[in-house]
Structure 1
């Protein structure tokens, strides 16, 4: 039997991601939603020896579950994972689950944004509708599972705006906003974002399981 992965003392929830910005987002949301849960009790998988997960599902929900199941099995903790991306109407919903590696290099935000701008260069504003999609999965060590989905609708800008956020945020104008997702404060973004919606829905399951 494989020994459990070593996790920080006091941790109660693990986020199956090395993304520090994603971790802070989940910490803020869970701390507000789960009485008695401190931000430091929500940890990322950075520095923890988890098995490599091949994200070979063809949906956001499927990939989120793959990652959460692996983290729960390896650590014995409640595990949260998400799979998220950008779906553009005129591209038939792409880049979708391939958002992080749209340019061919995983996690290269600048290259991904550059490619998207080039692909949409001749597309008129009326056809630049898009949405961010997030599927957040929660898996407990006893096998209990829940998956929640959140979306943020908007349009694609013609140039980057703002220095905050990550991924495609500088190119995304949320519906009803005059600022890009990268120009919003973290709290403003949490309130309307796809990930904020999905994580808040998952937080209800975390609160129930932690009592």
Structure 2
């Protein structure tokens, strides 16, 4: 029996590998956008929530390929600055900002915020859209706090600033295999896995 193709709406190889691993129980032939000829596709994410942006990406890729598609949208919420940067996490310091520039802007904004008020969370919304028009949306979070300076060389984005209380280390210091089990994306993917099992039993 031929395996069903599922396209992941990302060019991030780290995300692709993580999704492949968590969905390995399913008989899917998981492809990246470049593997289905959409490598240069730019998708305008103009939603007002993580869920809306994930859905925009998944629907766009499904409509262009005819295959079931999975997309995620994720970011950091910091309580002391009204849950910013939120959906603007990747471009917090400007449209083509680097991770270092985004981190620097965040640290400057909360420079005078005391340690006990530097709470925040990573959020990930995942949308899976099927050719029959049905869809699944899940959300995962990971609570933590924001450090006073970047620590660790692992991960990407705000990882060197985000302290996970259970380990008292940043995502930049925690080994990838542990991060991939406790992260917001891992939590959202596990929710997707559960919902997908129910969906596949129903159809």
TM-score, scaled to structure 1: 0.86
| SS at 2:137 equivalent | strand
Aligned partner of 1:28 in structure 2 is 21
Structure 1 position 182, deviation (Å) = 1.6
Aligned partner of 2:170 in structure 1 is 180
Please tell me the root mean square deviation across aligned C-alpha atoms, in Å.
2.0
State how far apart, in whole Å, the 1-side matches of 2:15 and 2:26 are. Answer: 21
State how far apart, in whole Å, the 1-side matches of 2:131 and 2:96 are. Answer: 30
1:42 maps to 2:34: no
State how far apart, in whole Å, the 1-side matches of 2:64 and 2:200 are. Answer: 19
Q: Which runs of 4+ in 1 moved over 6 A?
A: none
Structure 1 position 112, deviation (Å) = 0.6
Aligned partner of 1:4 in structure 2 is none
Aligned partner of 2:100 in structure 1 is 110
Structure 1 position 36, deviation (Å) = 4.0
1:142 maps to 2:124: no
1:18 maps to 2:6: no
> Which 5+ residue runs of structure 1 have no aligned equivalent?
1-8
State how far apart, in whole Å, the 1-side matches of 2:48 and 2:82 are. Answer: 15
Contact 1:17 1:46 in 2 (8 A): no
| SS at 1:183 equivalent | coil
More strand by share: 2
State how far apart, in whole Å, the 2-side matches of 1:142 and 1:11 are. Answer: 14
Number of paired residues? 198
> Which 5+ residue runs of structure 2 have no aligned equivalent?
none
Residues 62-77 of structure 1: matches in 2 within 5 Å?
62-77=52-67
Residues 54-93 of structure 1: matches in 2 within 5 Å?
54-93=44-83
